[in-house]
Amino acid sequence: MKKVVILKGNIIHTPERSEFQCVKNGYLVAEDNEIQGIYQNLPGKYEGQLVTDWGDALIMPGMYDMHVHAPQYVYRGLGLDMQLMDWLNTYAFPTEARFQDPEYAKVYYRAFAQALKKNGTARAVIFSTIHWETTEILMDILEEEKVGGFAGKINMDTLSPDFLCEDSRQSLEDTRCWLERNINKRELVKPAVTPRFIPTCTTEVLEGLGELAKEFNVPVHSHISEDIGEMEIVRGRYPEYDNDGAVYDHFGLLTNHTVMAHFIYPTDEELRQVRDRGVTIAHCPQSNGNVAAGIPPIRRMLDMGIKVGLGSDIAGGYSPCIFRAMSEAVYLSKLCWLQSGKKDSFLTIPEAFYLGTKGGGQFFGKLGSFETGNELDALVIDDSSLNVKLDELTLEQRMERVIHLADDRNIVGRYVAGEKA
């Protein structure tokens, strides 16, 4: 017998990024985690089935965090008056070294996973540390907390602090061992190949990781064109290539199973290459400002057909809530609009919502909207505390206010892979 889930409420999603689609007091129906449709009136064949009636609440797709550092949850909100490299050396690297301790990892990875869960993240693409044993602990905890996605043991074997700098051969051997142990171990959480970024990986490791990603058919997750200083290091090491994207592509790390964070300073060639390879860009507006990295040309990416989602980038970003990323993506795009001489139009609210739902969700499969045939990840939002009289606002306006003002206290229901979670 099929498992039927029926949710009743005010249903809102963005199958296309240009506008919301809403059904007031509608029914969202899924069978065995496959959405059958949205109905104003429940079809007769579902008569007698359990209906979860959420009243006047908003029912929206789950949110997807496309770039986040699990160990950095320890020092979120600290060092945000620093530039990137100073911040990494002061906070990131010393903290990550502590995650070789399993007991330390258990405490903070549990707190991290619970923070994602309560803030409405259905699935995420996650950096761990170089320590494969505690990366497994992270994956186990995420599975227990019903936060899906991909987690990666980091690789870094050059230009790194001594206490985090791996031996090149050992780095690849550890990665292979970790992939073999975890490739099919869990239902919701899978491994991803995760070079930290080009400057901290030798040619040997980048080449080996490209081969491992292909052999095990797993995603790739890294950073691209985030910082001018980082890009200068890459140009010096690989003068035969004009940009970060070309280097990643050379090593087989730029595919339609790749998520690259930031992409603040892309060249025209790099934009076309990322589009043609089917790469998903994780736009992290909060951290781009906090570490003074810059403003990526998101409007241009979208107009070119590049796939874009949103990332919290904890702890460059201070909030694990993707609503904050939606709001700040609009804000940052307005600064980009001003810098362009008002040529590149800024993001609309439906577009920002799309990036945080379907834009990222489609990387994981048929997710991020309530289109027929998709899997069911959903959030239920009680926005009554944000409004004096709900009937004075349209559903679109209520959702806009949620994006800017809601927090975890407004999330009253969460569904992942068709299950209440």
For residues 130-135, average pLDDT: 98
Q: pLDDT value at position 86?
A: 87
Residue % of the chain over a pLDDT of 70: 99
Is 90 exceeded by the pLDDT of residue 344?
Answer: no
- For residue 390, the model assigns a pLDDT of 59
Confidence at residue 192, expressed as pLDDT on a 0 to 100 scale: 98
Asked if pLDDT for residue 130 goes beyond 80, the answer is yes
Read off the pLDDT band of 419 (50, 70, 90).
very high
The mean predicted confidence, pLDDT, of the chain is 96
pLDDT, tens only, 155-174: 999 999 999 999 999 999 99
Is the pLDDT at 392 greater than 90? The verdict is no
* Angle, CA 77 vertex, CA 385 and CA 67 arms, to 5°: 85
Among candidate residues 73, 251, 81, 244, the one with its CA nearest the CA of residue 172: 251
Q: Does domain 4-61+369-420 have CATH number 2.60.40.650?
A: no
**Structure-token match 């987690």, residue found:** 151
Instruction: Check residue 82 and give its pLDDT.
Output: 85
Inform me whether the pLDDT recorded for 388 exceeds 90: no
Is a pLDDT exceeding 80 seen at residue 324? yes
Q: 391 falls in which pLDDT band (50, 70, 90)?
A: low
The pLDDT assigned to 312 comes to 98
pLDDT at site 290: 87
Across 391-417, average pLDDT: 96
pLDDT digits (tens, 9 = 90+) for 51-98: 999 999 999 999 999 999 999 999 999 999 888 788 889 999 999 999
The whole-number pLDDT of residue 84 equals: 79
pLDDT digits (tens, 9 = 90+) for 176-211: 999 999 999 999 999 999 999 999 999 999 999 999
Q: What integer is the mean pLDDT of 374-389?
A: 93
Which class does domain 63-361 fall in? alpha beta
Taking residues 225-251, report their average pLDDT: 96
- Locate the domains of the chain by residue range: 4-61+369-420, 63-361
